[in-house]
Structure 1
Amino acid sequence: MKNIIFLITFIMSQVITAQSYKKSEPFTHTYSIVARDSITGDMGVAVQSHWFSVGSVVTYGKAGVGVVATQSLVNPSYGPKGLTLMGEGLSPKQALKALIKNDEGEMYRQVAFLNKKGQVATHTGNLCIEEAGHRQGKNFSVQANMMLNNTVWNAMAKAFETTKGSLSERILASLKAAENEKGDIRGKQSAAILIVKGEATGNSWEDTVMDLRVEDHENPIKELERLIKIHKAYDFMNNGDLAMEAGNSIEAEKLYLEAQKLFPNNIEMKYWYAINLVNNKEFEKAKPILKSIFSKDNNWKLLVPRLVKSKLLIISKDELKNIMRL
C-alpha cells in the first residue's frame, strides 16, 4: 500500500503543471469506446473525431493492464499515467480519481479507463461542450462530447451489447451507431482502433492485437472498417506463413484460402496460395493461378526461383522450368 501511495504522489508531482488547462491543448471533441472481450480477455479502445490523427492523442493501451481514451480538451498525460497507476494495482476508479483531483482543467476533460478485469471508470467534465455524456456497461464504457444529438452514447452502448462477433467487430458496430445518430456536430475526419492482449506475453511485439489509424478521410469509419477487414485477412496470411515455415503446407493452404476470401482482389494473397499448392504437389491447380498472376505482373515470376533458393518452395529443377514457362 505504501508503494502505491508513493507512486501516486510521485506521478502527481510530475504532472500537476501538465494537467492545468491550456488553450493549446488538442481540441479533440469526439466519441469513443473502451471495451473488453470477456472470452479472449483482449481490451480495445476506438475513437472518431473531426480532428486530424485523432488516434495519436486519444487512444492508449497496454497488454495485461488496460486501455484509456482521453478526449474533449485533451490532456494526453491521462493515457500513460493512467496505465501506470492501473499497472501498479489501482482500480480504474482509483486511478482516474487521482488524476482528476490534481487537474485544474478537469471540467473540460472526458476520460475513460478500463482494466484487464473489465472494470471501468469514466469522467465527463461539467464544461464539456454539449451534447456530452457517457454510459457504462459490463466490460465497456462509451463517451461522447460535442455531439449533434444526446442519443449518441446510448446508441453506442446498445450496439456494443447486442452485436455478435469479435471485439473489433463489436467496437466497430458501436462507432457506426454513433454515426447513425449524426455523431460529431462538426462532421468527421479521422478514426482509430487499438486492441491489446488481456495478458502480457513478455514480448511487447506480440502484445498488440490491432493498431489501425485513419488520419484524414471523408468517411473514416467506413475506411476503418475496410482496414479491419484487411487486417483480418493478413492475420490469416501471417499464420499461413508460419505454417509454411513449419512445414505444415496443408494448414498453410487452408489459411491462405481464408485470407483470399476476405481480400479476393489481392494478387499477393493469390500468389502465396498458389506457391503453397505447388509445395503440396498440386501443380495443375496452381498453374492457372500463377499464369494469371504472371500476366499481370512478371515480377512475381522472377520471385519464384528466389523462393526455391531460400527453401520456401521445394520443387525439382524440371518443375521450376515448367513454372517459369507459364
Structure 2
Amino acid sequence: MTFSIVARSGPAFGIAVASKFPAVGAVVPAAEAGVGAVATQAAANLRYLPQGLALLRTGLQPADVVAGLVATDRERAHRQLGIVGPEGPGVTYTGEECLDWAGGTAGDGYAIQGNILAGPEVIEAMESAWLSSPEVALDRRLVSVLAAGDAAGGDRRGRQSTALYVVSPGAGYGGGSDVACDLRVDDHADPVGELRRLLDVHELLFGTPDPDTLLDLSGKLKEEVHNLVTALGYASLDMWAGVENFENRLVPGKIDPVVLARLREGDGRDKA
C-alpha cells in the first residue's frame, strides 16, 4: 500500500514515502543522524524502527540488520523493509506474501521499495530519478523520487498521504536538533504535490541565506528597509522577521534578497 525511499547523501539521511493510507509519516519512517534510516511498510512492524536504529548504532551492516529483524518475526512474509547505513549499499526486503505488485531495489546509499503498486515500473522510475540527480539537495531529491513513482502509477489504489523526514548533524531549527526536515501530508487529493509545496514553504522560512547573495544593509537600501518595516507597524527588521518566521535568514549588517523581496511585497502569506 506504499512506496518509499531511504537514502544517504553526505552526512544526511532521509526517507520519503507515499501511500493510499492516512498519515503514512506516522508509521513508516525513522532516521538518526550518524546512524542511518529505516522504513517499515506493507504490514508495518513499528518495532523495526527503534530496533533497526539500535542495531545500526552497534556498527552492523544494513544487510545484517534486516536479517536480524526479520529472523524472529513470525509475520515476516507480510513485511517490507528498507534500511541504509553510514556507508555502503542500502538493503530492501519484501516478504513473499506482500500484496502484488511488491518489490524493491537498492544500491550505494539507497533502498527503494513498494507494495500494491501499479507495477515494477514504479520502482524503476524512482531509481532512475534518484540516480539522475546526485547534485540536488537531499530533501528535493527525495521528493522528486516520490513524484517519479507517482507519475509511473504509484499505489494502484490511489493517493492519500506522503511524508519527508531528513536528518543531518545540527541541521534542525536554530541548530538545536538534527532534524532538518519533518513534513507530512496526512490526507490530500494530491499528496506529492502538496508535499512539494510544503517543502517550498519550509525552505523559505527555515532555510539559511546564501552568503554570496547577501546585500549590504547600508545607505539607500537601509533607509528603504527601515521605511518598509515602519509602514508595516514594526520598530525594527528583527521584530518583523521574528513575527513572520524569517529569523533564520537574518545576518547582522546584511539582508537576504529573499527577505527583502518578501518585505517589499508586504508579506501576502497566510499566517500560520
| 1:33 aligned residue | 5
Deviations 1:161-180 (A, max 9, x none): 00241111221111011111
| 1:215 aligned residue | 186
Deviations 1:54-80 (A, max 9, x none): 011000011110000100011111111
SS at match of 1:282: helix
Preserved contact between residue 120 and residue 139 of structure 1 (Cα < 8 Å):
yes
Cα distance in 1, alignment partners of residues 100 and 24 from structure 2:
20
Is residue 2:62 matched to residue 1:92? Answer: yes
Is residue 2:30 matched to residue 1:48? Answer: no
Which TM-score applies when normalising by structure 2?
0.79
Residues 290 and 204 of structure 1: CA distance in aligned 2, closer, same or farther (over 3 Å): closer
Deviations 1:125-149 (A, max 9, x none): 1111101110112211111100122
Cα distance in 1, alignment partners of residues 170 and 32 from structure 2:
9
Deviations 1:224-278 (A, max 9, x none): 1111122222233xx46xx9xxxxxxx6982xx8xxxxxxxxxxxxxxxxxx94x
The one-letter code of the counterpart of 2:201 is I
Cα distance in 2, alignment partners of residues 173 and 125 from structure 1:
27
Residues 287 and 76 of structure 1: CA distance in aligned 2, closer, same or farther (over 3 Å): same
State the structure with bigger RCO (CA 8 A, min sep 6), 1 or 2: 2
Consecutive unaligned residues in structure 1, runs of 5 or more: 1-28, 244-250, 258-275, 295-299, 315-326
| 1:128 aligned residue | 98
The one-letter code of the counterpart of 2:144 is A
| 1:144 aligned residue | 114
Which TM-score applies when normalising by structure 1?
0.66
Q: If you compute each CA radius of gyration, which structure gives the higher value, 1 or 2?
A: 1
The one-letter code of the counterpart of 1:65 is V
Preserved contact between residue 31 and residue 167 of structure 2 (Cα < 8 Å):
yes
- C-alpha displacement of 1:207: 1.2
Deviations 1:101-142 (A, max 9, x none): 100100100001111114322110111110111011221111
The one-letter code of the counterpart of 2:189 is E
Alignment size in residue pairs? 241
Preserved contact between residue 120 and residue 140 of structure 1 (Cα < 8 Å):
yes
The one-letter code of the counterpart of 1:51 is F
SS at match of 1:75: coil
Cα distance in 2, alignment partners of residues 179 and 284 from structure 1:
49
Residues 199 and 128 of structure 1: CA distance in aligned 2, closer, same or farther (over 3 Å): farther
Is residue 2:76 matched to residue 1:76? Answer: no
Preserved contact between residue 63 and residue 200 of structure 1 (Cα < 8 Å):
no
The one-letter code of the counterpart of 1:41 is P
Cα distance in 1, alignment partners of residues 120 and 187 from structure 2:
25
Q: Trace 1:1-326 onto structure 2 (pairs within 5 A).
A: 29-37=1-9, 40-163=10-133, 164-197=135-168, 205-236=176-207, 239=208, 254=214, 277=217, 282-286=221-225, 289-290=228-229, 294=231, 300-302=232-234, 304=236, 307=239
Higher strand share: 2
How much identity, in percent, do the aligned residues show?
A: 33
SS at match of 2:27: helix
Q: Which runs of 4+ in 1 moved over 6 A?
A: 198-201
Cα distance in 2, alignment partners of residues 200 and 231 from structure 1:
13
Higher helix share: 1
